[in-house]
Structure 1
């Protein structure tokens, strides 16, 4: 079956299957939660732009991640609505996998290249009439909180994805695991090739985070009973996955021992990942390929034209227009009328404790003074989706909602998906990023903000150190010792952040608009090549696929 609507570029002819739990390619296809999906979506768009021989493999989530609505008191309300996608093409083949000693049927759906301008993507569903209700729920919700369901999802993605590609006679040279979720494909390939060294020649792995949630650990006996190892006996599974002495099975370690090469997603993350997994015997090499985003999709074309034509007046005028478009959304959701002349700061990404969405208000008295300054006013917008069962992150979101009632220049928005993300990046002046240092693997949201002239104001972590020239194309929060207690890190990071905001960012915006435009232009120019996903997609071929 020919999946491609374009002729493959000879430079990228090696056949690659890119396995990911989520893809964010368009607002209408709600099969993503956050950064991992945004990254995969940009990668698939650049595959199309470069005419690479890559096919995406993911799951067709019947209810998506969740719809972010509000309760009566405006606090967060996770809601689930069944989705239908009439632009997907049903494949005329089905495959089956064993999950918990039961046969589960899988149907494939194809997102063709020309629908959204991406690589072809095959999406797998168990939500079909051939399965009983429990089996149908496997592909209901992205990142289901139930451990059994989560592992079943990984079996469907890894084993089911490999079987589906074989069933449609699509030859694959390299299987690329975007995070460890697709690890069961290693055991499907082992059954085909008969030894792990041959398997390794065909597998590469990208690790995306040092966070525990992104490096799953399960009891190996539980995984064996679930069918995670695709019929291999337990001793064989232990031997090829490096879990010989413990019953705690790490998906990341399994991937590092089953791939020929792996990568972290920024230069810093490459160092952190090597330190994290330094003691793993016989693991593959971990290099760095810094994440990137698809400029063509994310940027406002008029803004880019003004930059290219060196029209500062047009650049500023367009930015104010984009702020007005964003502020229409603010007014619609909150009833607040924001002013396009006022410096607007946005914090928007997945709500998680280590990302510290509430750091700006850590010193509350200082925060109030900042928000009530009428001489040099600011406007602040928060947006982002907490994991629906992460009560701590939801509490932070709801606390911000309650605080926002006190300020007409503070908004907390819901519905943080591709459309709102693009509005925020194009309509903000400053993009605030506040993770605890060493905990941010990459943090690509700031890239797409910088592409649209929103100045990245960030902790010195992730991709930021590779890009930032402090005060020239970005602003950097002075690094602190990451070994300090969390409360002390938070106190110092807040102080340093507020000092820069009050003494540098706000005065530059209001007192030196010419300099502010220069920073905007430098950000847009400096981000253009190194952080466009064409570079990243090319680098994967050069450093991993063709190795």
Structure 2
């Protein structure tokens, strides 16, 4: 084991403007298909950030978790419905950093946490230290803490936060400490408590809040967390009371907002939503917008990029058709359906959360049937995405779409939604459909990488879209509905918007005016970059947050 990974290390001399030492904590990193330690958007975002930090020569490292079984492998039962598999992963490209620390968990005060390192030369990221408790000498229970990303056992979830937070902070100390500690979402909150006790100042701690969803802003009973070792030591009743909100609870987001010198939301709209969400809690830091972004080099097809730069319609069309064929090979392999690269193809692909409304297209089944059986303007539709493995409502929705699509030749559902399939879907689609209820999507970065590959966004005006939108020129946006209406009313109005956009705008334009369609495609690529590329984002973090 070369000793350079025992110290703060980069294969380059950090650029002067990015010289501050930053440790970036995240529960998941979506770096590459080969490293399955992510579930979705949060991981894709963190992965793009670490790639751009490397490209910009920033003095940053990542601190994450080495999940033995990853999130889950998405396969099919014998009737094609969703099957959740947990398969052990092995990565011989990770190296033992030689760093091991001890933390207190519950009654055990010597749980070992070891850091494996993902070196910069493997995938072109800054060094990322991945923590595991699956270490010789730990008892069986301790060894299983780092088995599953977002474990369904709530006590295990708390332990995971302590491993990432306290274990991660101790690993950073062993590397010589950082100037800035950045928590990407509240999962690693114990880091702030531990660091505060070590004399790390408030102006060294920053925080990114990612979601307006209640489930994404964890809240747990304070005394239980204290017993678990969440605060790095046992707090007295007086100390604990200072941290409590909502009648004896610790809200991870509120605590992080209070302890950070400055925090950020992940789009301009999300900053307003966040400021409003947390305004009744005293002592919280200022929340500024730093809109999420994605790494162009990793996500954008080079041939599409070159053709779009030269506005070469012929080359672009040829390449797009090739990419559609690649996607349709996957459709054929999984479902036996033969899709046609000449037909307009719509993709809905992301995490299967209720507010994202995967089934909005089916709200009015008569109108949907008319849409998919229109021979003048044919359409193909693909769904993909991962429900949380124990969210039975979301799984039921996923299976409903599978069963609905089975007898219909031009609609289908794909499984195995990870980085590789995500790339294929973005490169091979004509329309990227995004249907969250307004104010519920903090950012929604999948539409950015789709736009980079000439897939036009059809979306509600939520997340990053208000910063990008030129309706009818670079994307198509639903008429805005009042987000205070009952959800049924919102869904009814939004589904009408969606049918109208597809029937009256998208399909006629695609088939009757291919040149006008290409103009929208090219505008979309021009407008998404560099503004929504992660070099802008990684630079903005240094300038405005660190």
TMscore range, shorter length: over 0.9
Task: Work out whether 1:215 is the aligned partner of 2:217.
Answer: yes
How far, CA to CA, are the matches of 2:503 and 2:239 in structure 1?
Answer: 57
Please say if residues 227 and 234 of structure 2, whose CA atoms lie closer than 8 Å, have aligned partners that are also in contact. Answer: no
Matches within 5 A, 1:104-115: 104-115=111-122
Please say if residues 199 and 259 of structure 1, whose CA atoms lie closer than 8 Å, have aligned partners that are also in contact. Answer: no
How far, CA to CA, are the matches of 1:465 and 1:358 in structure 2?
Answer: 23
CA deviations over 1:495-519 (Å, ceiling 9, x no partner): 1110111000000000000000000
How far, CA to CA, are the matches of 2:155 and 2:95 in structure 1?
Answer: 29
The residue aligned with 2:474 is 473
The residue aligned with 2:68 is 62
The residue aligned with 1:453 is 454
Q: Which deviates more, 366-375 or 74-83? A: 366-375
Task: Work out whether 1:280 is the aligned partner of 2:281.
Answer: yes
* Counterpart among 39, 48, 70 of residue 45 in structure 2: 39
* Counterpart among 131, 135, 138 of residue 124 in structure 1: 131
Matches within 5 A, 1:250-399: 250-399=251-400
Please say if residues 376 and 506 of structure 1, whose CA atoms lie closer than 8 Å, have aligned partners that are also in contact. Answer: yes
CA deviations over 1:420-462 (Å, ceiling 9, x no partner): 0000000000000000011010000000000000000000000
The residue aligned with 2:412 is 411
* Counterpart among 136, 145, 148 of residue 138 in structure 1: 145
How far, CA to CA, are the matches of 2:137 and 2:239 in structure 1?
Answer: 30
The residue aligned with 2:4 is none
CA deviations over 1:213-233 (Å, ceiling 9, x no partner): 110010001100000011142
Query: What stretches of structure 2 of length at least 5 have no aligned partner?
Result: 1-6
How far, CA to CA, are the matches of 1:256 and 1:522 in structure 2?
Answer: 38
* Counterpart among 84, 88, 94 of residue 82 in structure 1: 88
Query: What stretches of structure 1 of length at least 5 have no aligned partner?
Result: none
The 3-state SS of whatever aligns with 1:61 is coil
How far, CA to CA, are the matches of 1:171 and 1:492 in structure 2?
Answer: 53
Distance 1:227 1:250, change over 3 A: same
How far, CA to CA, are the matches of 2:314 and 2:482 in structure 1?
Answer: 42
How far, CA to CA, are the matches of 1:158 and 1:347 in structure 2?
Answer: 35
Cα deviation for residue 187 of structure 1 reads 1.5
How far, CA to CA, are the matches of 1:39 and 1:269 in structure 2?
Answer: 16
Task: Work out whether 1:160 is the aligned partner of 2:167.
Answer: yes
How far, CA to CA, are the matches of 1:267 and 1:133 in structure 2?
Answer: 45
How far, CA to CA, are the matches of 1:381 and 1:201 in structure 2?
Answer: 47
Given the two structures, how large is their TM-score scaled by the length of structure 2?
0.97
Please say if residues 436 and 460 of structure 2, whose CA atoms lie closer than 8 Å, have aligned partners that are also in contact. Answer: yes
The residue aligned with 1:174 is 180
The residue aligned with 1:201 is 203
User: Cα RMSD over matched residues?
Assistant: 1.0
Distance 1:501 1:111, change over 3 A: same
* Counterpart among 18, 27, 41 of residue 12 in structure 1: 18
How far, CA to CA, are the matches of 1:343 and 1:244 in structure 2?
Answer: 51
Given the two structures, how large is their TM-score scaled by the length of structure 1?
0.97
Please say if residues 4 and 112 of structure 1, whose CA atoms lie closer than 8 Å, have aligned partners that are also in contact. Answer: no
Q: Which deviates more, 305-314 or 453-462? A: 305-314
Please say if residues 218 and 248 of structure 1, whose CA atoms lie closer than 8 Å, have aligned partners that are also in contact. Answer: yes
Distance 1:271 1:244, change over 3 A: closer
CA deviations over 1:266-293 (Å, ceiling 9, x no partner): 0000000000000110111011000000
The 3-state SS of whatever aligns with 1:138 is coil
Cα deviation for residue 75 of structure 1 reads 0.5
Aligned length: 539
Please say if residues 187 and 252 of structure 2, whose CA atoms lie closer than 8 Å, have aligned partners that are also in contact. Answer: yes
The residue aligned with 2:58 is 52
How far, CA to CA, are the matches of 2:311 and 2:531 in structure 1?
Answer: 21
Q: Which deviates more, 298-307 or 226-235? A: 226-235
The residue aligned with 1:496 is 497
How far, CA to CA, are the matches of 1:445 and 1:244 in structure 2?
Answer: 34
